[in-house]
């Protein structure tokens, strides 16, 4: 049974997940972060111990959750003795197997959402994907995940990676387009806020109709006059121009395939 958890990491995901687990009734024993300030800040929210010294990671936890950026995971893992206690990571892209030298009971808990430190999210709406190397750990992770979300599924490492790629398109790349739109509007002295209703509707619409059917705009109509006119207007924004060209081409191509 899991009662006491040590969380390794104090970034966006570590923060949201550990706060939610505490709310669900788990005891967060300790927070580890390389940066003392981050460890301390998160520990304050969790009423837990904290450390920035890897040697001082507690042996008393029932579960170790590694919530670090992928590039930092391996380095940290190699320095801790997990005594074969359940050990999990939260990465979309790293396979389960990355943990196999470090414990006999390993797993993954991947909440499919974008987390920013000071922004509340409703875990009840977040799909959580789990995976483990044995039935006992899988059962334990399903229970843990179900305590924070009703949408828990078991998913293999390969499928999870695919899901992560799709999420990069649907979230990270999408957000970058909001940024590009905002940057451009700023130079034109138009408030980014005027786009809010359009941004909301675009996100809502795709949840009620197929995204390819929801596509509107000059590229899908291949309205060359508008496209060329827009490209001209973007002359002083070479990055915007580049992106505009390549995405318009991609939209039109996808539309042609759909109508074949």
- Rounded to the nearest whole angstrom, what is the least distance from the CB of residue 194 to its own copies in the complex? 5
- Rounded to the nearest whole angstrom, what is the least distance from the CB of residue 141 to its own copies in the complex? 18
Binding mask 148-187 for its own copies (x = CB under 8 A): -----------x-xxxxxxxxxxxxxxxxxxxxxxxxx--
Asked whether the beta carbons of 23 and 47 are under 8 A apart, the reply is: no
| Nearest residue (CB) to its own copies, 3 versus 150 | 150
Asked whether the beta carbons of 128 and 152 are under 8 A apart, the reply is: yes
26 Cβ contact partners less than 8 Å away, ≥ 6 residues apart:
2, 3, 4, 5, 144, 147
Site membership for its own copies, residue 230 (CB under 8 A): yes
**Cα separations (Å) of 159 from 89, 125, 164?**
16, 20, 9
- Rounded to the nearest whole angstrom, what is the least distance from the CB of residue 91 to its own copies in the complex? 8
- Rounded to the nearest whole angstrom, what is the least distance from the CB of residue 183 to its own copies in the complex? 8
Question: Which one of 1-9, 22-30, 60-68, 243-251 is the stretch in contact with its own copies (CB under 8 A)?
Answer: 243-251
DSSP string, 19-55: HHHHHTT-EEEEEE-SSHHHHHHHHHHHT-EEES-GG
Site membership for its own copies, residue 218 (CB under 8 A): yes
Q: Which of residues 135-154 bind its own copies (CB under 8 A)?
A: none
| Nearest residue (CB) to its own copies, 14 versus 219 | 219
Site membership for its own copies, residue 121 (CB under 8 A): yes
Residue 176: other Cβ atoms inside 10 A: 11
Site membership for its own copies, residue 197 (CB under 8 A): yes
Residue 155: other Cβ atoms inside 10 A: 19
| Nearest residue (CB) to its own copies, 60 versus 178 | 178
- Rounded to the nearest whole angstrom, what is the least distance from the CB of residue 94 to its own copies in the complex? 8
Asked whether the beta carbons of 14 and 35 are under 8 A apart, the reply is: no
C-alpha torsion angle, residues 22, 25, 29, 31 (rounded to 10): -20
Q: Count residues near its own copies (CB under 8 A).
A: 92
């Amino acid at each position: 049974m899991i009662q006491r958890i040590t969380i390794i990491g104090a970034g966006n995901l570590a923060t949201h997940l550990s706060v939610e687990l505490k709310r669900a009734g788990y005891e967060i024993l300790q927070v580890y972060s390389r940066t003392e300030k981050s460890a301390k800040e998160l520990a304050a929210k969790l009423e837990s111990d904290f450390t920035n010294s890897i040697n001082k990671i507690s042996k008393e936890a029932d579960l170790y959750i590694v919530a670090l950026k992928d590039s930092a995971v391996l380095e940290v893992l190699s320095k801790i003795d997990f005594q074969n206690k359940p050990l999990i990571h939260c990465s979309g892209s790293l396979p389960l197997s990355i943990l196999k030298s470090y414990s006999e009971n390993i797993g993954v808990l991947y909440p499919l959402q974008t987390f920013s430190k000071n922004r509340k999210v409703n875990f009840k709406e977040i799909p959580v994907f789990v995976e483990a190397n044995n039935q006992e750990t899988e059962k334990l992770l399903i229970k843990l995940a179900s305590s924070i979300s009703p949408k828990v599924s078991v998913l293999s490492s390969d499928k999870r990676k695919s899901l992560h790629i799709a999420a990069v398109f649907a979230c990270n790349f999408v957000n970058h387009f909001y940024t590009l739109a905002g940057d451009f509007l700023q130079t034109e002295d138009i408030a980014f806020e005027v786009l809010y209703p359009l941004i909301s509707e675009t996100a809502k619409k795709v949840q009620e109709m197929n995204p390819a059917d929801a596509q509107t705009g000059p590229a899908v109509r291949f309205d060359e006059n508008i496209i060329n006119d827009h490209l001209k207007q973007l002359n002083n924004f070479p990055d915007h121009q580049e992106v505009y060209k390549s995405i318009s081409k991609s939209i039109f191509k996808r539309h042609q395939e759909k109508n074949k």
